[in-house]
Amino acid sequence: MNHMPGLGEEGGHSQGRLWLPVFTSEQVGLPKPDMVVFLDLSPEAAARRGAYGEERYEKKEVQVKVRRMYTRFEKEPFWQIFDADKPAEEVTRKVTDAAIAVAQELERDSIMSIDKIWWPKETNLEGEVSKSSINLEDLQQSSSAIRNG
């Protein structure tokens, strides 16, 4: 799992331009995440929640741009979108089920390489994989603990 902080927030301030190379440059060479959880919530639904608008980024026009920036990643195989306007218990269950499925797939396929994310085109490292430093026994114990609660 990985967190890509600020990837969309800056998109809300890009004067309508998409600065994907700028966003990804900070992430170049990092391991590709196994799964990214995107909790999608329309600006209208967010506005119905308490205390909306108190933060400087909580303006509809900013939220629309940020949401649009994040949805550009929806074709990435690791990017999973969940409707955050559903009840919290339902969202939690769906995210947990998806995370368990990813962990089980990794365990089943004995994935022992780490793909890199967003290599710049001018390098010859496109698609490079390297050996993982993950201890397989630790991975198996972790995924068993997830499955067994």
Question: Where are the domains positioned within the chain?
Answer: 10-148
Lowest mean pLDDT among 29-33, 63-67, 140-144: 140-144
Is it true that domain 10-148 has CATH number 3.40.50.300? yes
Burial 70-88 (b: 16+ CB within 10 A, else e): beebeeeebbbebebeeee
Tell me, rounded to whole angstroms, the distance of Cα 56 from its chain centroid.
23
Helix axes 136-148, 88-108, angle to 10 degrees: 150
Q: Which residues lie across from 116 on neighbouring strands?
A: 31
Rounded Cα gap, residues 70 and 16, in angstroms: 14
Continuous H helices in 3-114: 20-25, 43-47, 60-71, 88-108
> pLDDT tens across 63-109, in order?
888 888 888 888 888 889 999 999 999 999 999 999 999 988 888 87
| Overall pTM > 0.75 | no
